[in-house]
Structure 1
């Protein structure tokens, strides 16, 4: 399907479940010169809206996917070509363009998810990337699931084996907890690695509560951990906005939940209707609400984090990368200072509690450097 001098821009695949996206606004127009990494078009999926960044540089000759169109992953959105490529050649290229069908010679072939039973609790997880090398395990936060990493898994899986799980009581894992302490959750993650056949050390990437679990595991079982990369982690200071965690547990309707979820992002517009609906559906599952209430109370009560690990970090002899949004409304960005003198710290302006979604390309680039080091 190649043609000399013509480069397609296609609908990206973000995360393990994305099948299609809706074209929103083009940020460039035909005749513009595009640079690699430039944000060119906004796309909305059933999880989140995000800008597609150009993978190639060139002259934008034709926009094919128009605002409001719902298109499958890998569908043609636009065409790059230098002026010497004629319009007829571009017309012919567009007419002949076929969207590769899902699963043909693709990493998507085979099941998207696995499950393992650990300590009597069935958990959903996903594996991506190569078989070789030290695996990278992603741990989401309170009330989240593995889809919190939808912009990050594939970027890391290009060079490393990747594993992401739904923690107990989250996502599509069983609505049961192995305990409500960080120690119990960290022990569970170690048992999960055994069940998933991962014997050696792993790189841990953790967000919020998942960041605290990662720290706890590294302190309790250092042989299992090669490095740590943490996004707005819990565990580094006492203060936390329990208005967020309590509000999340208590919200019973779209009207109540939407303003709670908006506290996660610097731009509240990132909270889509679908995101609110998905969270309500999860919260209405049998046993979830009391479980979240128990977990929230055990870890975060009255504006405080029960367990602060910062003092123990002196003993942590691991590469440590910390990301924090300056506008984090859940855990104050000032706590980044408690990560210790050896930590590499990246702070993002105009970013809230979800830097891995809000600043995905910067986070992914730094993660890849950290993991290669």
Structure 2
């Protein structure tokens, strides 16, 4: 007599659940205690064992939602004669077409390696760890939680800085990891450290690579001839560092460059997130673009830095001192001044990204503060319908620092959809 395999109840409130993965093919022989399928949901990560030895017959496909206690499989002993039981009608309708193929059709081989435990798989998914090639220390080489954590420790121990090639822009991994990276481009007169505040309160779920733009930070001081030349410098810097698709994020002028990069087609981009992007109109606060460079002391810098935000308390003394320290580098300040002459002549933005945004074929989001005094919020009008706008109240020109929780949530949601 066939022995039923029932879907288990793994929490008190659980009424239904899903079969995450069958580990044994339909019609295969199993032994008592052998793991035959997995449950993997928000409440639990559970492996279900065969209650007896015999031939396994699936009664529900992978991904099907079933009631707790429902019969999801049957095991027929070798001395029993039983025809394969049909799938229930409601479940059969949801089954993939491949499961309805004739029994004589060849079945694709299913990889069992590295066959992680459900908990190991969940941690890997949440932390962006690629399990391919990871040697497990569990029974029969199975990947366990400790194996995933060991790989994360090894990644964390790797050096953050990447030695640049000759002429390359300065690039720093703010967080290493596996999975789709997010590449960050800062705005005018800033550097890659401007992004650190975004991740101060919460660890990102993805690897993060930040670049210094030309004539900024620790990148070469030469000013590119135009936006396309600047994009080419970014592309050549990223080429040896990235082997996977990426999500690109940029702030202010870095946002404009990110939008242009998205339409040049030289990078494998899967998503675009722009924080207070330049390039939506010609207007810009010319007094700020010049004043932020002329000011050298903490006292003279503070009023200009406070102009960047809605709440002056956002600008800490430590932040002011770090900017003042950079202003002591005369060559760097001169390079940024030449950069402003090139891209903001006569107090005007010469780079427009509206045509770039209209051509996008990837998910894109714009986060813009309603109280922005550097770039007017009004320039966000008439964005293409394919670009989502997040208009933030009580926010100036630094949404990623003034509202880091919201900004990180928007970026993470984009990253998840792109992944």
Question: Is 2:181 aligned against 1:135?
Answer: yes
2:348 alignment partner, one of 289, 297, 304? 304
* Local SS of the residue matching 1:116: coil
Report the Cα offset of residue 159 of structure 1: 2.7
2:391 alignment partner, one of 319, 329, 347? 347
Question: Is 2:291 aligned against 1:261?
Answer: no
Aligned equivalents of 1:156, 1:335: Cα separation in 2: 31
Structure having the higher strand fraction is 1
Aligned equivalents of 1:341, 1:220: Cα separation in 2: 21
Report the Cα offset of residue 156 of structure 1: 8.3
* Local SS of the residue matching 2:396: coil
Match of 1:191 in 2: 236
Match of 1:284 in 2: 328
Larger Rg: 2
TM-score between the two structures when normalised by the length of structure 2? 0.59
Task: Give aligned pairs, total.
Answer: 266
Match of 1:148 in 2: 194
Question: Is 2:161 aligned against 1:113?
Answer: yes
1:167 alignment partner, one of 205, 210, 213? 213
- After TM superposition, the structure 1 = structure 2 runs for residues 201-212 of structure 1, keeping only pairs within 5 Å, are 201-212=245-256
Check whether the contact 1:182–1:212 (CA below 8 A) recurs between aligned residues.
no
Match of 1:125 in 2: 172
Give per-residue Cα distances to partners, 1:165-197, cap 9 Å, x unaligned.
2223322x144135152212211111111132x
- After TM superposition, the structure 1 = structure 2 runs for residues 9-158 of structure 1, keeping only pairs within 5 Å, are 109-118=157-166, 120-121=167-168, 123-131=170-178, 133-153=179-199, 158=204
Distance 1:335 1:244, change over 3 A: same
Match of 1:335 in 2: 379
* Local SS of the residue matching 2:291: helix
Report the Cα offset of residue 222 of structure 1: 5.8
* Local SS of the residue matching 1:329: coil
Match of 1:176 in 2: 221
TM-score between the two structures when normalised by the length of structure 1? 0.66
Q: RMSD in angstroms over aligned alpha carbons?
A: 2.3
* Local SS of the residue matching 2:157: coil
* Local SS of the residue matching 1:164: strand
Aligned equivalents of 1:219, 1:122: Cα separation in 2: 21
Report the Cα offset of residue 223 of structure 1: 4.7
Check whether the contact 1:319–1:343 (CA below 8 A) recurs between aligned residues.
yes
Which blocks of at least 5 consecutive residues in structure 1 are unaligned?
1-103
Distance 1:209 1:194, change over 3 A: same
Check whether the contact 1:128–1:154 (CA below 8 A) recurs between aligned residues.
no
Report the Cα offset of residue 108 of structure 1: 5.0
Report the Cα offset of residue 330 of structure 1: 0.6
- After TM superposition, the structure 1 = structure 2 runs for residues 228-267 of structure 1, keeping only pairs within 5 Å, are 228-267=272-311
Report the Cα offset of residue 294 of structure 1: 0.8
Check whether the contact 2:285–2:347 (CA below 8 A) recurs between aligned residues.
yes
Distance 1:199 1:108, change over 3 A: closer
Distance 1:317 1:155, change over 3 A: farther
Aligned equivalents of 1:158, 1:248: Cα separation in 2: 31
Report the Cα offset of residue 353 of structure 1: 0.5
Aligned equivalents of 2:259, 2:320: Cα separation in 1: 30
Report the Cα offset of residue 230 of structure 1: 0.2
